């Protein structure tokens, strides 16, 4: 039996490994699919879509940790690298969920559009914060086999302390904080909707802000919060009774943690504006205009045939996207 298995039945560990890798692989493919759509339709030109792009990139790296890392390498020196990478990837997702939530708060409650300085701050935090928390376990060489995956060792006092300082305590403070911020955002939105004057231009601008900038973003942090319910419960149980793991909690944990990439894909695809663009004719026209090197614009007539016309400038126009550019 595998000596690193935390259960008496090795089949339990195999089942957890299969679930973790399967969901991780699905999330990897899902994240690549979203990034492809963002670049295909040039969504990266708009702030709200760039924030989604950053979050999905973080989920891609996080899903890779679940799909590739784990039992195969946890008995080797590579387990230290895998544990460090998992710490960076997990914190990268957390930071970008927080950035999106802060951006929503700024747009909804403060009623100010996001400027480029905010985006620079978001990017810097997405790099600095994961590194800050990821380097601490190296102080005592605490990265190594940690149950079903590589992370911070739980067999030493220093490892237990580092687990709490670098993950448990921060994440348990962040998750309730996100819920509170979301509650404030929802209350603010509800209050503004009730006081709308249908003949006031400011009301139209606020509706437009909700439709274009807020609605595409608001579900991403919410899905993150929901997917962290069972991992948080399992981690609390691990801290209270480390020698008595509960298989059901580990099943739910292994299923939930790698699922964010697939969840983001579902949110992105079911968006009304995305559904309008997910047509073969749109893909075909975008590809032809993107890769046409002769300076000609490819269009389609009513019968679906390709028509070329000379054009010396870019075909995209400022009003062609359904999103407001901030």
Q: Are residues 154 and 115 in the same domain?
A: yes
- Compute CA distances 308 → 297, 303, 324, whole Å: 6, 14, 30
Question: CA quadruple 243, 248, 251, 255: dihedral positive or negative?
Answer: negative
Residues 253-257, mean pLDDT to the nearest whole number: 89
Residue 2 lies in a domain: no
Residues 19 and 158 occupy one common structural domain? yes
Quote the pTM value.
Answer: 0.77
Q: Specify whether 168 is located in the same domain as 36.
A: yes
Answer whether residue 122 shows pLDDT above 90. yes
Question: 188 in a domain, yes or no?
Answer: yes
CA distance 203 to 206: 5
Question: Higher pLDDT residue, 94 or 238?
Answer: 94
The answer to whether residues 143 and 48 belong to one domain is: yes
The verdict on residue 300 lying in a domain is yes
Rounded distance, CA 168 to CA 152, Å?
Answer: 12
Whether the per-residue pLDDT at 32 is higher than 90: the answer is yes
Whether residue 307 has pLDDT greater than 70: no
Tell me: do 220 and 293 sit in the same domain: no
Range of the domain at 286: 280-326
Q: What is the pLDDT of residues 140-167, one digit of tens each?
A: 888 988 767 788 887 778 888 898 899 8
Q: 């708009």: which residue's tokens?
A: 46
Same domain, 293 and 202: no
Are residues 141 and 49 both part of a single domain?
yes
Does one domain contain both 208 and 312? Answer: no
The reply to whether 220 and 309 lie within a common domain is: no
Q: What is the pLDDT of residue 233?
A: 87
CB atoms within 10 A of CB 248: 9
For residue 97, give the CATH number of its domain.
Answer: 1.20.1070.10
Residue 20 lies in a domain: yes
Write the pLDDT tens digit of every residue in 235-244: 778 778 877 8
Statement to judge: residues 239 and 325 lie in one domain: no
Which of the four pLDDT bands, split at 50, 70 and 90, describes residue 129? very high
């Amino acid at each position: 039996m595998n000596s690193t298995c935390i259960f008496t039945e090795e089949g339990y560990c195999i089942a957890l490994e299969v679930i973790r890798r399967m969901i991780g692989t699905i999330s990897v493919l899902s994240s690549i699919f979203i990034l492809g759509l963002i670049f295909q339709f040039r969504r990266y030109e708009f702030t709200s879509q760039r924030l989604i792009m950053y979050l999905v990139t973080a989920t891609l790296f996080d899903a890779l940790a679940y799909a590739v890392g784990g039992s195969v390498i946890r008995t080797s020196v590579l387990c230290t690298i895998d544990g460090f990478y998992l710490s960076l990837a997990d914190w990268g997702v957390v930071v970008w969920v927080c950035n999106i939530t802060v951006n929503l708060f700024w747009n909804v409650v403060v009623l100010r559009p996001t400027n480029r300085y905010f985006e620079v701050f978001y990017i810097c935090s997405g790099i600095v914060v994961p590194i800050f928390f990821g380097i601490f376990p190296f102080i005592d060489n605490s990265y190594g086999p940690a149950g079903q995956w590589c992370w911070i060792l739980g067999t030493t006092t220093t490892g237990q302390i580092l687990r709490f300082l670098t993950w448990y305590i921060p994440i348990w403070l962040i998750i309730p904080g996100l819920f509170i911020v979301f509650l404030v955002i929802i209350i603010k939105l509800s209050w503004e909707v009730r006081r709308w004057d249908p003949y006031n231009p400011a009301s139209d601008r606020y509706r437009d802000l909700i439709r274009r900038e807020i609605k595409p973003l608001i579900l991403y942090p919410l899905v993150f919060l929901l997917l962290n319910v069972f991992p948080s419960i399992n981690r609390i149980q691990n801290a209270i009774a480390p020698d008595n793991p509960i298989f059901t909690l580990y099943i739910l944990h292994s299923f939930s943690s790698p699922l964010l990439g697939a969840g983001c894909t579902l949110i992105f695809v079911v968006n009304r504006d995305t559904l309008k663009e997910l047509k073969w004719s749109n893909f075909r026209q975008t590809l032809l205009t993107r890769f046409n090197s002769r300076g000609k614009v490819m269009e389609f007539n009513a019968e679906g045939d390709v028509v070329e016309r000379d054009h010396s400038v870019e075909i995209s126009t400022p009003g062609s996207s359904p999103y407001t550019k901030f």
